[in-house]
Structure 1
Amino acid sequence: MKKVVAAIMVLLFLCSPAAAFAEAPFTLELSGKEVERGGGITLSGTTPGPVDQVVVKIVSPAGTVFYIDVLKAVDGAYTQRVAIPASQVLAPAGSYSVVAGSGGTTLTQEFTIAGEESPGPGTPTAAPTAAPTATSTAMPTPTPTPDSDSGTPSNPGTPQPVGTGSPISAASPIPAGAGEASNARIKPELSSNGSYLIGADTLAQAMQQAAGQITIELPATAEEAGIALELPLQSLNLLNTGNTGLVLTDGVRTISFPAGAMKTSGDDQTRLRIVLNASWNKEAQSLVGGSVRSDAAYGSTGVLLSLVIQTINSGNITEIHQLALPAEVSLKLTPAQISSMKPELAGIYYVDGNSAEYVPGTLTAGTVAFKATHFSAYALLVYDKNFADMSGHWAEPAVKSLAARHLVNGVDAEHYEPARGITRAEFAALLMRAADRTGSVPANVASAPFADVPSSAYYAKQAAEAAAMGIMKGYDGAFRPNDRITREEAAVALVNASKYFKLAADGQAGKAYTDAREIASWAAASVAEAGASGLMQGDGTTFQPKKQVTRAEVAVMVSRLIQTGSSL
């Protein structure tokens, strides 16, 4: 009877939730202890988490990196087949160490390759593994991306998908241990030629602790002097495979590349070189001066960031300008830089020596932030546009602020015409340009659902977006694009758009206007909300709902909508 009870107790324990959901240990197993050339070895094991990453490295008898990859666990298990070259040069005889790391835990196993000679010509071997030549040095080579803007390397090598297990030969262009890794942060090593280096082992170590990104810490002098950072291209491929972003920072300037942002191709000897330069020297001043030319509205702040991305192989250099995914850039300004400019008129511009392209961004607590889809040079400039008919006007600050954000223009180079009315089409175009800066506007919307908006109209896209986002709905299928927009119509559109902006709550109660009875029922709630939020204030007594909105008034309205004190 006791045996029966004991058996039942064991069965109950095995079926209990604690037993069923016990955390699996981190393990590493090899398919064999002796491996023949031309064959392969399978690495496998378990991880505590269902989707943990495992960094696997195989070290040759000579102490060099033979193979390295990042494996992703599926349901708490991982496996990878590693091909062993048939050549004795690429796979020398001796003992190989397999090192696997995950979550700060490292495990080691060993296997050996016997000392017999490699097969001669014509001798049957296992299926070809597309092994690299004896001079190859790096990790699995990715398949080149045809639509990337990275160009074609001089020595592309044998294209293989990342993670296929291509081995690494003894030679390495960058010392595998260059740099120092700690908690997913890396301090690169200063080489004898003045560049900063990071080796494959150092990056692999950092990946074991990475929670989505690795941060490379550069000294401030590196960016101020334009010193290069170099790492094996295949290490970047491993970061992309492991969905791990790359962050470069010197404490003042930070560039965050999401995984897959830099699409590159190259063989095992290719280096990735990144050169950052923040010097405000004569060359930088000439670059900015040529970009803005004779436009007196522009003024420099002395803040510039130049970034060059290259792949290098045997002296052949390919520059990468376009990113597959945008990088996030932030620049910390000094108190002196902030006090020397008008922040409300400042903005980031992509400069190439011939023109300046405005890039939306933010300025918060002294830090400028923006997204870059391509790289060369970016400058922080002030755009202080003066219109002859706005000097001393009550709306001049708002017009200047919107002009600095390149949301409004004058009717010509010298005049704004503040008292002129604005059509519903013009209002929609301005409001949706502002909304687009928030990132809330859908990438693709259906054609404008209005019978009186031809697809060829300059405002057709904005009218369609406004309708899709519920900002401007029109009248019984008509948009009335050429009608002058009224104050009550503007109130409805502004309130509908406000949810897409970071509009601080004013806390004021809705104002009681003496002409409240003149406000249409469909606009009454929006007029009250616009007054409470400070978007529209009337003249203190009346709202004048049927009055046409002027170009001066609309500038103030939109400026209030986007004015968070931080947007550029």
Structure 2
Amino acid sequence: MNKIIASLLIFTLVWTVIFSSMDRHVAASVEDAPRFEAVDITDTIATLEWDPIDGAVSYSLHIFGTELFGFTTDKFRHEVTGLTPNMVQEMTLYYRDAAGETFEVKHEFTTAPLVLAAPANVRALNVTTNSAEIHWDPNPFATRYELEVNGEFAGGVDQSSYTLSDLTENTTYEVKVYASNGLQYSAAAEIEFTTKETSWPDAAEVNLRAMDVTATTAKLVWNEIPSATEYRLVDGEDFEARVTAVSYELKDLSPNTEYVFALIASNPIASSSEYTVRFTTAPAPPTGLKATTGDGQVSLAWAAAQGEGYTYHVKRSTTSGGSYTTIAANVTEASYRDTTAVNGTTYYYVVTTVKQGLESAPSNEGSAQPTAIVVVPISPVTGVIIPTSPITGSILTEGNISGSSDGNNHTVILKVSSTIEKTEDGRTVSTTTVDPADLQKAIESLKATSGKPTIIIEVPGNGETTNVLLGAGMIAELQAQVPSALVSARVDNVTYDLPVKALDLPAMAEKLGAEVEEMNVNVTIDKVSRSSLTTIERAANQSGLRPISEAVDFHVTAEAYGNTTSVDDFGDVYVSRTITISEKTNSATGVLYNPTSGTFSFVPTTFQTGEDGTTIATLKRTGNSIYTVVQFTKTFEDLNGHWAKADVELLASKLVVKGRSDDRFEPEQELTRAEFATLLVRAMGISEDDTSRFSDVQSTDWFAGAVNAAAKAGFIDGLEEATFGPRVNITREQMAVMIIRAMRFAGQQPTANIEDLSVFTDSSFISDWASDAVARSVSAGLIYGKTTTTFSPKENASRAEATVMLKRMLQALQFIN
């Protein structure tokens, strides 16, 4: 082993001597210290130069021991890149002679401090109408880049691109990009670009059009615009709709009206010009078609279209809903007499409205079977019929007067003429003055009969405003001779039934400083203007109501010597007015519209179906105002399974009761005396009152107006010392008393049977002052016992109990169906 180690040591020594003799820095055949230096030094680049060396045949350059190029002949200059700025660089030049010996010479130099270069190759890519991508080549010495757009800082990133957004279309932008290393910024690299402009198609490409046009609806349709994200429809007034679809359903349009709508396409940065469409709606179908039987003829009448230029096509069939044949075209009046009818045959009629070549849908269907009329002799004394026995059906009489009687009702019809004039705002006003002689004959006729006496004044035409003038002296005579008489003004599809006892003629004359005989009483039926109707419809829609009839303003005035006084309060007399509705309805109610507050309130209303299939709404109230009929349905989440659910939802849908919140009624919660008084006043359709009668009811209390009105009408009394106790919960017996008083106010009072209370074991606990009212309420089925044997008079009433009792009262009064 020792011999082997010794041999290795000798071998190593020999090779060391050999390599030592090959030193590259010493060679006698090559000159020493050649020129080797760096020139053109920058922060990252330097050029190395050396003079040719005698005896050297090739050269190789190294930096920090790393070869930059291998041995090469005839090369005396080399550019070195990628140097680190401001750093000492160690360079070594190796050269060989012809014998293959290698020599070296070293050189050190320091690079210049860093000068950060501006980003190179800056460019704008993917330019749109509102965005652009800015790209540049990465700078190895930069750690971040920042951008300016039109002189404003836009943002900074650490990558070599940046997206500009929210730009304006067709706009030139100047962008500067700076490189940064945390210590310094480079010079700016600048670029300029222009965003694209949105291209909108022309009107022909969009093809905005109206389709499926009816009297009240139309569908606007257009072709899709690729650059649009939204469409806006306007009519130049107060209509505006925004959609993303390419169609829109227009509703609540006016019949036979020209409309112009504009479509504006848009995206987040631009909008198109207007694309317009013009169309005219079809006329509205006639309403209220009535067919009256005659001898070998049928008389037709319907509500005339509002405005000028309308005609009508009358069509007939012998099958209901069958194929109709036009029997008269372009009829100019809102009536027609079919004289080709055969007695004993039932005919079915419809009428369409025509204007400027546009024809409406058919009206409701009217039917009649012509029959012979029996003519009754006329009394030579009065000129009117004096029935000697009950007569049913139409009776021909003298001149403008006709009458009918069935033993229970006696009606005299006055046919009158009207003068028509136009106001400055274009409204049609029809004025009818009832001939005193005709009215006198009607009085004589009514005096000679029993039953309910009614004078019907049939006003021809369809004026937007209808005035019926009656001499106050004749009304006074009617009050004296037939005090229960009713004067009914009928025009188009609206009636107004005025009980003559409701007019306090002496008080009216005193206000005017005149005698009763010097006054005229004017009954006005005023269909509200289109602009007012639009306001009413908008207010209704905001409340979730859908109007289904026209709005009519009824008022009565007295006139004398150029002075006028209005009659707005008929005390405890309910005045009826009817409005005919063309559609059938199951959830409608009559309402009063308050133009000052823009609110709606319940009006006692019943509905009947007429012979022509229309719905007749009869609204009853003790005052005058603007009335209409609306549809509304209200439910509450907490009524599911509750015994009073149907009654509560019925009165809530009629605007009589309200929930504690929008979705909760709280049926088992107790209610106060003020709350029930408010519900009762609302159910009776009477107006609130400002005059306080109780010391504990302040004008600022929310219930003050209703409590004052209830006291004025006699529904309520105070508790003691002129107090009402509005915040005290109401008991069942107190509620019964208030209900019976309200019915008495309306002219009805259930009979009392005290024995009906004997079934209750706690009847002795009913207060003396309440026993009569409780008995009447129980006998009439307005209120039941808490159980079959207990009434619980002192128990507080719940909201459900109060609502059910109100509903039963309204039905008993025939204030609702």
TM bucket, shorter chain: 0.3 to 0.5
Higher share of residues assigned helix: 1
Higher share of residues assigned strand: 2
Higher relative contact order (CA 8 A, sep 6+): 1
